[in-house]
Structures are given as C-alpha cells and as structure tokens.
C-alpha cells in the first residue's frame, strides 16, 4: 500500500525518470540499428571480416557495464552522452549478429532465382533479403532494446538520469518504496518495449513467412 | 538461336569445368543437357544468362555476343527456372509471377492481363491462388508458378535447371507432360538441365550428353539410344533403355534385311528352288528392273504352290497383292498391334516409295527383343 501511495505522490517525478530512461535506451538502440544493420549487410559476404566484426562486438559485450560506462567517461564526460555511447556499444552485437543470421538464412535458391531474373544487388537486398530477414533482424533489435533498458538503470552512476536514479537514491536513503518503484518501472518498460517491438515485427513480416520458434 | 563457340570455364584457373564446348541450339527447340553431377551441365547453362561468365569463348544469341549486353537486361529476357523453385516466400503468387514485368516497369493493365493469362496456362484458378503465398501451395503447384514466372516477360529463351527433380515421380511426370504441351503452344527455345536420362529422353528434341565438361554426343533421343557414340553414353543411357522405351524402336530396327527377292515372271519351279536354297518359306516379288530398293509387288508363300503343276504360271499370277506394308518408321508397338490384329507372321517393310527394304518375322522380333533385353539371370 505504501508503494502505491509513493507512486501516486511522486507520479510526475516517476514519469520524468521513465522518459529519461526511455530516451537513453531508444537513442542508443536507434544508433546501433543505423550502424549495425548496414554493417551486417556489408560483411555478410565476407566470412573473415564478419568473424572479426562479431568478435569485436563479442568482446564489447563481455566488458561489465559499469566498466564500460567508466571507459566512456574520459571521452564524453558525464551525463547522457557517455551513457548513450556505452549502451550503443552493447546494442551493436545482437543487431549485427541477427542481421547476419537473418540474411544467411535466406534460401540461396531464392537469391539465385532473383539474380537469374535480372535483379541488381540493390534490388536483391531491398526486395528479397531485407523482407526475408526482417523478423530475425527485429529479434535482434528486441534483445538489444531489452538489454539496454536493463543496463540504463546503472547509467545513473555517471549522472545520465533514468529510473536508476530512483533505485540508487532509494538505496542510499533505504527507501524501499523508491527502490521498488525504480525496479518495477524499469521492468515494466522492458516488457512494454518488447511487446511493442513484437507487434512491429509481426507487421513488418510478410504473411508468407512462417517464423520458426 | 543460341550458339556457344569454344566455350571454356575454369573456376580455379587449373581445371576446366567446361572445356572447349560448342553447341548450337535452334530456335524453338527444347534441348536437354544431361550428365552426372559435376559434368558441367549447370555451368554451361548458367553461362547463357551470364550467371557464370565463360573463361574463354563466346556465346551468341541471335548473332549478338551476350558479352555486349547488359547482364540484368539479358536476364530479364531469358526465363529462368531452378530446382528448388526459388519462389519468393514473402510475396504472393501474383507478385511472384509479375516480378520481371514489374521490374521492367511495364504497364499495369498489361501486367495484370499477362498474369491472368499465365494462371490459365499453368491451370491454376486465378481467384483462388493469386493472393496466396508459396508455402500454401504444393511442390508441384509451386514449380508451375516457377514456370509461369519465367514466362511472364515473354522471353524467347527459357533456362531450366533440374526444375522437376525435387518432385515426387507422379507430379514430375505431370509437369513434364505440361512442359511438352506448353512447348507445343509457345514454341520457346528451352535449355533444360537434368541428371535424369529418362526425363531427358522424354522431353528433349535433342539431348546433349555431357561428361567432364564436354559434350560427348548431341543428337535426338532416338539416335542417342540407338547409336550411342561410345561406351560412356551407352552406359549412361543404360543398355536396357530400349527395353523400357519400346516406342523408340521402329520397324526398321527389328526387320531382317537379307531379303529373298524374285522377279514377277519367274515360274513356280524356280521359286521353289530359291526357297529350298535360301531356306525361306516366303518370297518377295519385286520389280527388279528398276534400281534398289526394288518396288514391292507382292508376296508368295510356299502354301500357294500346292497343287500347281503348270510351269507356265508365273509368280505375278499367284502372288498375294493385298499386303499390309509397314513403313520403315512405324513404331514397334504399332507393328506389333498390326501383326496381332491381322494375324500376320511375315510383313514387308517398305520405304516411302514402296521400295522393299526388309522383312519382319516372328524371329526377327524375338532376336531384337533378346538383344535389348536387360541382362537377366540364368535359368
């Protein structure tokens, strides 16, 4: 009950934190899409390069998030910039990897048929590969988004704001309601984002494709 | 007309997948490239729409070197059907079929008319199938759509790379029939690749048997079956092939050619003499004044001589003139039917001018069947 009272009394603050949280994660994921998806397409035909890129992204993924925020600070100072940068790096791996997998899973016969019908490389990419890989690519975006929303809670430590503020302040003051509010809302945010992206994925995927779960 | 001139292809610069291959494909012909896997048949076909570029040599379509054409516009004008169908799974059947005309930015009405026409050609109801997706169709239906898609831009040439090999035997047979029907109607130049010699024989106007990147024999199915140029071809088409496809045998393949001929003015005594000497019971009466093959006038069997002692009776007086002459190109099964129906044991085989060129007897048929019969166990 006290939790509900806290939430209703602090609604404007909570919403502000939710928006901050969202803008950090979404900006990072969008940037990662802008870079990651084209990179995926560019390296798909070069196995060695693909391996190198995936390895780099893997290494980034293994760096603890707090450490990555710390690394970003000397370059970008404190605030949202280093946070977005670090989140962006985290989002890259699932997006590049899923783009690669998505394109590689396109039946070679389909590509060959398209080529034999006189489609240019670009036409093949936009008319065949993207639509066929879109559900897998979207899967990567979903994973990246959920991960980023989770990690953004730590971004409070480099003064980037977000729901982490509530959790850490709550911890400092031993205010359980505050802690729980931060935790619950970040979890809800992740669930909601995943749900919405799931709908987007469905809308973008042709009815002709059955997704294998 | 498609002309491949001394075409070679090497992927590694050392071994040639296709070696110095020349091939002329006449307009409206359905030719089949057949051979074991790795013989270069697909590579050869793919050089025609430049999915593969020849290392050496030239390919001409209607006397234009395809090197001088833009790759993609060449491909838009050469229909292409592949083994695993290659339909676009995310597009509806209608979208799939209209792919190339849409790429060529043809008029929308024109495209929609063409698509509807093609639905008729492949015998799928437009209303029911136009808006379905490939996965909702059976394998056979999908491949029909694949063929329709290849026809959509009205290409003169169609390349087909093992299009039916993934289908079950019954569907495959159906689609082969349909392809033949389509070919009769549309008269396209078709290059068809398969490893299945049965299929090649069934559908090809001509067959090019390939081995190690070369064409070993390029001829009609009949000639390849009857006169394979070497052991490889013989082995490949199978020694028992004629046994399985008796319709490929014609009268001239089963006839005996040492014929005992005798003139119309010979007497009975003379005829009996000839019969004894040559151990024959039937003689052919021919007009021996002209040059060979002599025109057949009638047949005389030994039974006709019973009770004739008058030596002035000539062959022309007693010969049987109502004959069931068999044209030399009559298929064996028709010959057999005719023989059964008319209860004939000895029939004369004639050329187009009624010239006698051979005999078919029960023995000659048995001999041929024995020759082409697959090697069987000893009894």
Facing residue for A116 by CB, picked from B49, B91, B92: B49
Segment A114-129, tens digit of pLDDT? 999 999 999 999 999 9
Q: Is B359 within 8 Å of B259 (Cβ atoms)?
A: yes
Whether residues B277 and B205 share a domain: the answer is: no
**Average pLDDT, rounded, for chain A:** 90
For residue B12, being part of any structural domain is answered with yes
Same domain? B265 vs B211: no
Which pLDDT does position A185 carry in this prediction? 93
Contacts of B82 in chain A (CB under 8 A): 109, 112-113, 116
The pTM (predicted TM-score) of the whole model is 0.73
Contacts of A110 in chain B (CB under 8 A): 86-89
Residues B226 and B260 in one domain: no
Domain carrying residue B325: 252-370
Cβ separation B89–A209 shorter than 8 A = yes
Cα–Cα distance, B206 to B197 (Å, whole number): 12
Q: Judge if B115 and B206 occupy the same domain.
A: yes
pLDDT value for A184: 93
Residue B67 is assigned to a structural domain of this protein: yes
SS3 sequence of chain A: CHHHHHHHHCHHHHHHHHHHHHHHHHHHHHHHHHHHHHHHHHHCCCHHHHHHHHHHHHHHHHCCHHHHHHHHHHHHCCCHHHHHHHHHHHHHHHHHHHHHHHHHCCCHHHHHHHHHCCCCHHHHHHHHHHHHHHHHHHHHHHHHHHHHHHHHHHHHHHCCCCCHHHHHHHHHHCCHHHHHHHHHHHHHHHHHHHHHHHHHHHHHCCCCCCCCC
What is the CATH classification number for the domain harbouring B199? 3.40.50.300
Note whether B211 and B332 are same-domain residues: no
On whether residue B144 sits in a domain, the answer given is: yes
> Is B233 in the same domain as B264?
no
pLDDT of residue A199: 93
CB A32, CB A144: distance < 8 Å: yes
Residue-level pLDDT at B378 = 54
Cβ contacts of A117 on chain B, cutoff 8 Å: 75-76, 80, 99-100, 103, 149
A-facing residues of B in 177-236 (CB < 8 A) are none
Q: Is residue B324 part of a domain?
A: yes
Q: Which long-range contacts (CB under 8 A, 24 or more apart) does B122-131 make?
A: B122/B147, B122/B148, B122/B178, B123/B178, B124/B93, B129/B93, B130/B92, B130/B93, B130/B94, B131/B92, B131/B93, B131/B94
DSSP string, B142-171: HHHHHHHHHHTT--SEEEEESTTTTS-HHH
Statement to judge: residues B227 and B304 lie in one domain: no
Q: Count Cβ neighbours within 10 Å for each residue of A14-29 and write b for 16 or more, e otherwise.
A: beebbebbbebbbbbb
Answer yes or no: do B305 and B226 share one domain. no
Chain B nearest CA to A187, separation (Å): 35
The region of weakest confidence among A30-34, A69-73, A81-85, B187-191 is A69-73
B377 in any annotated domain: no
Q: How many CA atoms lie within 13 A of A55 on its CB side?
A: 6
Residues B70 and B196 in one domain: yes
B133 close to A (CB below 8 A): yes
Q: What is the pLDDT of residue B244?
A: 64
Exposed/middle/buried for A13, CB within 10 Å: 0-12, 13-18, 19+?
middle
- Domain boundary (B245, B263, B278) is at B245
In a domain, B375, yes or no: no
Shared domain for B234 and B325, answered yes or no, is: no
Give yes or no for B1 touching A (CB within 8 A). no
Residue B378 lies in a domain: no
Pair B71, B145 in one domain? yes
pLDDT tens across the length of chain B (379 residues): 899 999 999 888 888 889 889 999 999 999 999 988 888 899 999 999 999 899 999 999 998 899 898 988 889 889 999 887 789 999 999 999 999 999 988 889 989 999 999 998 888 899 999 999 999 998 889 988 998 999 898 899 999 999 888 888 888 888 899 899 888 888 899 999 999 888 998 899 999 999 998 999 999 988 888 888 988 888 888 766 666 666 677 887 788 776 778 888 888 888 888 888 877 778 888 887 777 778 888 888 877 777 777 777 888 888 888 888 888 888 888 888 888 888 877 888 888 888 888 888 887 777 777 766 666 555 5
Number of domains, chain B = 2
**Domain finish residue from B245, B271, B298:** B245
User: Within this chain, do residues B211 and B299 fall inside the same structural domain, yes or no?
Assistant: no
Cβ neighbour number for residue B177 with a 10 Å cutoff: 12
pLDDT range class, residue A196, cuts 50, 70, 90:
very high
Does B31 reside within a domain?
Answer: yes
Q: B192, B226, B245: which is the final residue of a domain?
A: B245
- Report the b/e string of B200-235 with b at 16+ CB within 10 A: bbbbbebbbbbbbbbbbbbbebbebbbebeeebbee
CATH number of the domain residue B269 falls in: 3.10.580.10
């Amino acid at each position: 009950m006290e939790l509900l009272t806290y939430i209703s009394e602090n609604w404007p603050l909570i919403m502000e934190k939710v928006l901050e949280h969202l803008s950090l994660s979404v900006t990072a994921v969008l940037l990662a899409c802008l870079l990651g998806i084209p990179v995926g397409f560019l390296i798909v035909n070069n196995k060695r390069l693909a391996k190198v890129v995936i390895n780099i992204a893997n290494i980034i993924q293994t760096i603890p998030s707090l450490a990555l925020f710390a690394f970003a600070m000397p370059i970008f100072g404190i605030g949202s910039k280093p946070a977005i940068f670090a989140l962006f790096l985290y989002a890259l791996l699932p997006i590049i990897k899923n783009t690669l997998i998505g394109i590689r899973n396109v039946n070679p016969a389909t590509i060959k048929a398209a080529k034999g019908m006189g489609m240019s490389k670009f036409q093949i990419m936009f008319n065949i590969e993207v639509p066929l890989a879109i559900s897998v690519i979207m899967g990567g975006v979903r994973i990246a988004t959920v991960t980023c929303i989770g990690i953004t809670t730590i971004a409070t430590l480099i003064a980037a704001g977000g729901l982490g503020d509530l959790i850490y302040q709550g911890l400092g003051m031993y205010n359980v309601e505050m802690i729980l509010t931060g935790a619950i809302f970040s979890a809800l945010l992740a669930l909601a984002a995943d749900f919405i992206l799931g709908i987007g994925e469905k809308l973008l995927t042709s009815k002709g494709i059955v997704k294998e779960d | 007309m498609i002309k491949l001139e001394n075409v070679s292809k090497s992927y590694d610069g050392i071994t040639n997948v296709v070696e110095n291959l020349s091939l002329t494909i006449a307009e409206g012909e359905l030719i089949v490239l057949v051979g074991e896997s790795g013989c270069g048949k697909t590579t050869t076909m793919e050089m025609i729409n430049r999915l593969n570029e020849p290392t050496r040599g030239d390919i001409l379509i209607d006397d234009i070197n395809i090197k001088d054409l833009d790759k993609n516009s060449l491909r838009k004008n050469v229909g292409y059907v592949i083994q695993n169908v290659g339909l676009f799974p995310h597009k509806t059947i209608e979208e799939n079929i209209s792919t190339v005309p849409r790429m060529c930015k043809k008029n929308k009405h024109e495209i929609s008319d063409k698509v509807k026409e093609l639905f008729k050609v492949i015998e799928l109801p437009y209303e029911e199938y136009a808006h379905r997706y490939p996965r909702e169709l059976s394998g056979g239906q999908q491949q029909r759509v694949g063929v329709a898609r290849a026809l959509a831009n009205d290409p003169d040439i169609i390349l087909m790379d093992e299009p039916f090999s993934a289908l079950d035997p019954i569907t495959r047979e159906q689609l082969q029939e349909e392809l033949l029907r389509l070919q009769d109607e549309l008269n396209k130049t078709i290059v068809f690749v398969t490893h299945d010699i049965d299929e090649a024989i069934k559908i090809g106007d001509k067959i090019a048997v390939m081995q190690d990147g070369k064409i070993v024999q390029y001829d009609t199915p009949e000639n390849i079956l009857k006169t394979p140029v070497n052991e490889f071809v013989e082995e490949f088409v199978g020694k028992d092939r004629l046994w399985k496809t008796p319709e490929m045998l014609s009268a001239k393949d089963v006839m005996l050619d040492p014929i005992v001929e005798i003139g119309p003015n010979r007497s009975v005594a003379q005829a009996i003499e000839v019969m004894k000497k040559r151990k024959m019971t039937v003689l052919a009466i021919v007009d021996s004044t002209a040059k060979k093959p002599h025109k057949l006038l009638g047949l005389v069997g030994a039974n006709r001589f019973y009770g004739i002692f008058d030596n002035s009776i000539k062959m022309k007086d007693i010969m049987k003139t109502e004959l069931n002459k068999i044209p030399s190109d009559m298929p064996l099964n028709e010959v057999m039917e005719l023989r059964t129906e008319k209860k004939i044991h000895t029939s004369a085989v004639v050329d187009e001018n009624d010239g006698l060129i051979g005999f078919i007897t029960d023995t000659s048929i048995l001999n041929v069947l024995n020759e082409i019969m697959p090697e069987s166990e000893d009894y």
